[in-house]
Amino acid sequence: MSIRLGGVVIDANDLDGLAAFWSRLLERDITRREEDWISLGPGLALQRVPEPKTAKSRVHLDLVADDFAAAAARAAALGATPVGEMHEDLWQVWRDPEGNEFCLCVS
């Protein structure tokens, strides 16, 4: 028996809005769309949920950027917000427009 990771799914209240954010941030096309589900290529999808995010996520994405300043500027322009300062000059926690945490990391 083998078990493999099929992908990461992000919960969303505004499915189209959050899919647009992640699609633009990661430069990934929407590859599958259903009423309550949007895939952004292999490995990443969003699903509509009724409840809002209420606590810190215990799992998050680490996004590695070749140009950290440009990635941070793009994330902010798309509606993400930084959480605190850089850590060890290597990574910074951010929140997407619905509050889901992710890290921007220096390449």
Tell which phi-psi region holds residue 91, choosing left (phi > 0), alpha (psi between -120 and 50) or beta. beta
Decide which of 3.30.360.10, 3.20.20.140, 3.10.180.10, 3.40.710.10 is the CATH code for 58-107: 3.10.180.10
Residue 51: which residues within 8 A CB-CB, separation 6 or more?
none
Query: pTM of the entire structure?
Result: 0.94
Which two structure tokens, joined as six digits, stand for 19? 């899919």
Angstrom distance (rounded) from CA 67 to CA 48: 32
CATH code given to domain 1-50: 3.30.720
pLDDT at 75 (0 to 100): 98
Q: Per residue in 53-100, pLDDT tens?
A: 999 999 999 999 999 999 999 999 999 999 999 999 999 999 999 999
Q: Per residue in 19-51, pLDDT tens?
A: 999 999 999 999 999 999 999 999 999 999 999
Q: How confident is the model at residue 2 (pLDDT cuts 50, 70, 90)?
A: very high
Q: Where are the domains of the chain?
A: 1-50, 58-107
Q: What is the DSSP letter of 89?
A: T
